[in-house]
Structure 1
Amino acid sequence: MMRQTGLLDGAERLRERLAEGGLLTCPGAADALTARLVSDAGFAAVYMTGLGATASRLGTPDLGLMTQSEMADQARAMVRACDLPVIADADTGYGGPLNVRRMIQDYAMAGVAALHIEDQESPKRCGQLAGVRLISPAQAVDRLRAAVAARSEMQVKTVLIGRTDALQPEGLSAALERAKAYRDTGVDLVFVDGVKTRAEVDAIARGIDGPKVISLVDGTDAATLRFTDLQEMGFSVALYAVTALFGAIAGMRMALSGLGQDQRPANPPPATYAEYAGIVDLQGYQQFSHDHEDHS
């Protein structure tokens, strides 16, 4: 049978999961196929990474090149493809209060369970990069308040996350102060991005009360922390934005290099057509088509 997606109830299911407490671990997905693999791996939610979505869709770095409509479309495809709540990157909200309002509406209609809005200037850039430019704390608070108001106006349950990218350009103290201010806007969780060390993760855990998000990037000192460590620190959500993407890059490079050197695909292949068919639920789609064919 074709899997049932959480198109209409993803936000409610995510809220129930967060209310249970403990750590929610969310691998990143660049596209709908990866979202299915995250689901098959047994995780409880999937993260639509803006970096991954940009790489998959445009083949470019994460420098604010994806438009609001492109991001919402990418998220919609993931929601349709898997049965997990989708937490989505919403960049800077894509403009002023009216743009934020439209973004909340489009993401909610796409079935997104949660989204985060950051305090960068537009065009934004990946939080791990140097040269991040921030708006003022007051402007960021206004941006988040617009999102909270839009959610209330539309009577949707989308989980809102206030993100600050102040850690690298302004330092830990400034990032913590921004996160605390964002927490008071009515968002559900706060998120200090750009962490690179275990010490930074520990300081964020100690410095911010209440529900909070952490994002760990493969290859950094911070990413050596285990799920149990993060749970003990009091984090509610852990995002692993690039783990699947970096793994896919390595796998594709290996397959293509082997094809070029050996002049034929690997035998046996790293994955079979039967495995692929299972991931995309080919049998379920074929059965549905057969059951509803016109036999007149």
Structure 2
Amino acid sequence: MHSLKARLSQPGLVSAPGVFDMISAKIADGMGFDALYMTGYGAVASYLGLPDAGLATYTDMVGRAGAMAQGSKTPLIADGDTGYGGLLNVQHTVRGYERAGVAGIQLEDQEVPKKCGHTPGRRVVPTEEMVKKIRVAVETRDSDEFLIVARTDARTTLGIDEAMRRVEAYDKAGADVLFLESPESEEEMARIGRSFDKPLVANMVEGGRTPILSRAQLEELGFSLAIFPASGFLAAAAALREVYGTIAGKGSTDEIQETLYPFSEFSKLMGFQEVWDFERKHAD
């Protein structure tokens, strides 16, 4: 596994697909990405069938993050929400995510319970409270290869100027990667890009508050990392609705078999080839 920290210091945008379960993680892992992004929205939806509204616990999420990190060769950035509480919780969360094999943790400045960053009604904690969380996260990690991604959700409720001030404070507190959530125009994104020297995150949520830009546009604006948290689960939901609709309407998949992922290839994706090889080796 290559160093994500080193990759982000190099030119060129890192595009990280959102993974939300082990199927999505394994598919993405074989496609040559420099990083994967464990989406909190998608992981909570997939695992619990609940909205991303602060309902998942640290235990819920560190288990998902560990399974994805250990089941993939590609560095994984994982959503750590607010750190699941106060400063001691942040310390516990950072230790747990790092031990789980995650390459970086995203921490945000929302009040508890948090909400998805492209939904309304988000409230943020005072800047100094988040600064303390970042400092604790930085001093807690065992290796500086484990990245602290600091996100502010202040833009939607408090405006772009306050969000920029917060990002500057989180930069000074020692965050490795800076994430101003949900800017609402290309002009705002340009302002973010020219204001900071550290790697910057662009959150590309289809149907969200931020314009979806091309790789070339994001690079020109100064972003180092583009995450696509919703793309995978939105695509999966569309495909499931299509095939389940066929079953419901026609009672069979006989007319759409060629559109499905081949069962033999899926079995190999899940590791059955290793099972078969093991059984042959140890057969009586």
Letter in 2 for 1:142: K
- Counterparts of residues 1-296 of structure 1 (less than 5 Å): 6=1, 13-151=3-141, 154-155=142-143, 157-220=145-208, 222-269=210-257, 270-291=260-281, 293=282, 295=284
User: Once the two structures are aligned, what percentage of the paired residues are identical?
Assistant: 34
Query: 5+ unaligned residues in a row in structure 1: which ranges?
Result: 1-5, 7-11
Q: Give the Cα separation in 1 of the matches to 2:212 and 2:180.
A: 18
CA, structure 1 residues 142+127, in 2 after alignment: closer, same or farther (shift >3 Å)?
same
Task: Show CA shifts across 1:43-98 (max 9, x none).
Answer: 22110000000100111110011101111100111112221100000000111221
Residue 164 of structure 1 aligns with an amino acid whose one-letter code is: T
Matches of 1:155 and 1:276 in 2, distance apart? 36
Q: RMSD across aligned C-alpha pairs, in angstroms?
A: 1.7
In structure 2, the residue corresponding to 1:207 is in which secondary structure?
A: coil
CA 1:244–1:266 in structure 2 vs 1: closer, same or farther (change >3 Å)?
farther
Contact 2:183 2:209 in 1 (8 A): no
CA contact (8 A) 2:114 2:122 kept: yes
Q: Deviations over 1:206-260 (max 9, x none)?
A: 3333321111111347443111111121111110000011000000000000001
Deviation at 1:266, TM superposition (A): 4.2
Deviation of 1:288 (Å) = 3.4
1:30–1:245: 8 Å Cα contact kept in structure 2? yes
Aligned pairs, how many? 282
C-alpha deviation, 1:20, in angstroms = 2.4
Whether contact under 8 Å (2:16, 2:36) holds in the other structure is yes
Conserved? CA contact 1:168–1:194, under 8 Å? yes
Equivalent position amino acid for 1:169 in 2: T
1:21 Cα offset (Å) = 2.8
TM-score w.r.t. length of structure 2: 0.94
| Equivalent-residue separation in structure 2 for 1:113 and 1:238 (angstroms) | 16
CA distance in 2: counterparts of 1:290 and 1:105, whole angstroms? 40
Letter of the structure 2 residue corresponding to residue 150 of structure 1: T
Shift, 1:155, TM fit:
4.3
Unaligned runs of 5+ in 2: none
TM-score by length of 1: 0.90
* Corresponding letter in the other structure for 1:99: N
CA distance in 2, matches of 1:85, 1:37: 14
The AA in structure 2 aligned to 1:110 is: A
CA–CA separation in structure 1 for the residues paired with 2:99 and 2:229: 23
Distance 1:268 1:173, change over 3 A: same
> Residues of 2 paired with 1:91 and 1:56: CA distance?
17
